[in-house]
Amino acid sequence: MELLRSVIILSILLSFKICVAQEDTLKILDENAIITSDINGKLYYLFKIESKNPDFQWDSYKFIIPNQKGFDEYYSVHEMKEKIYIDSINTTDVKDLSKEMTNWEIHNFLSKRRKIYLITKQKTKRSKNKMNSIIYYSYPLNYQGTQKNIEVLNLH
């Protein structure tokens, strides 16, 4: 009887741990994501949401894509992406975050996630017999915090 009780408690705890681990992972869908790099090759991602505070125009949320492979060596953005099938995963659209939460709630939400991934799309070019198709890629992210009025310019 005691053994059965221990097995039941253990299975409940393991089920709880699996559920919590799934909640710790966030997959941010940003179909118009801009990934930038600094002069050394470190990769960054930032999204901005219109600020509800009248003193600021934007609330910006900054991330690093952990691409360091050596002391002064970094993987390129192309080496960091992983092709995924979007139908098989749950994502949170960047646009929906501001509808559901305030800026400080978004900050707390991002800060509490152990694993964050950027999900973005890339349109493929049309070939002779095929229509345009959309391929989605995943990038690992580390949340760095929020700042006001920061923008990223897309130079491409």
What are the two backbone dihedrals, phi and then psi, of residue 104, each rounded to the nearest 5 degrees? -75, -30
Residue 54: band (very low, low, confident or very high) from pLDDT cuts 50, 70, 90: confident
pLDDT, residue 19, reads 42
Residue 147 is predicted with a pLDDT of: 84
Listed by start position, the domains of the chain span 26-148
> Reduced to 3 states, what is the DSSP secondary structure of residue 59?
strand
Say what the alpha-carbon torsion angle 25, 29, 33, 37 is, to the nearest 10 degrees.
10
> What is the predicted pLDDT for the residue at 126?
59
Over range 76-91, report the average pLDDT.
88
